[in-house]
Amino acid sequence: MICVADGEKGLEFVRTIKPDCLILDWMLPGMDGIEVLRSLRDFSTVPVLMVTARCEEFDKVIGLELGADDYITKPFSPKELMARVKAILRRIDMSSDHNAEENLLLSDLEIDFSRMQVKQAGKSLNLSVLEFKLLSILASLPGKVFSREQLMEKIYDSAALVFDRTIDVHIKNLRKKLGDSPKAARYIESVFGVGYKFKEDEN
């Protein structure tokens, strides 16, 4: 584990070292963790575990909307911290070891499971690991409705540790990157009171 003292050094660390996972404290001197995360997502999809003393749902939503993959609130034990980091790394392994065909073509989307890449009309999308995982799950079975609980179980080791708006926040971020709208969905449709599904090809 490598530690850096402030946000600017953290950004430079990611640019040069390219870590497998980043543990990011909200309360940093100078540039705080939220500013770091916002800047980080302009050039990197490294998985981020947000560390915060803020336990309100609103604060957690902010972190997730800006691209954090998971969060942990203070105080916490070193054992819980390591468990969450290992869970994030396992999700990366699971995403890169998809059993389906290497490429899935749906509408103007191309999902490359072996490279964990998504292209829309030939243009690469900058998705986080969780966003890629969610899209892969939904797109692999167009028309199938997944409840929030089912999606949480598929992308988190322990859904009990995740607050119930987490999936909604990640879906919101995913839709934004896809240029999708819940009111006129091209890709991801909301199923009221249940969850989400990938839109079936009308043809």
**112-162, pLDDT tens digit by residue?**
887 888 999 999 998 888 889 899 999 988 999 999 888 888 877 654 455
Higher-confidence position of 57 and 88 = 88
CB atoms inside a 10 Å sphere around CB 165: 15
Q: Is the pLDDT of residue 53 over 90?
A: no
Q: Where are the domains of the chain?
A: 1-95
Taking 70 as the threshold, does the pLDDT of residue 95 lie above it?
Answer: no
Q: What is the pLDDT of residue 102?
A: 66
Look at the domain 1-95 and name its fold: Rossmann fold (3.40.50)
Query: What percent of the chain is predicted at pLDDT more than 70?
Result: 89
Least confident of 24-33, 69-78, 84-93, 131-140: 84-93
d(CA 142, CA 200): 5
Task: State the amino acid at position 1 in one-letter form.
Answer: M
The two structure tokens encoding residue 90: 């396992």
Report pLDDT for 54.
Answer: 75
The answer, yes or no, to whether residue 197 has pLDDT greater than 90, is yes
Is the pLDDT at 97 greater than 70, yes or no? no
Q: Taking residues 22-50, report their average pLDDT.
A: 90
**Sequence-distant (≥ 6) Cβ neighbours of residue 184 within 8 angstroms:** none
Predicted pLDDT of residue 20: 86
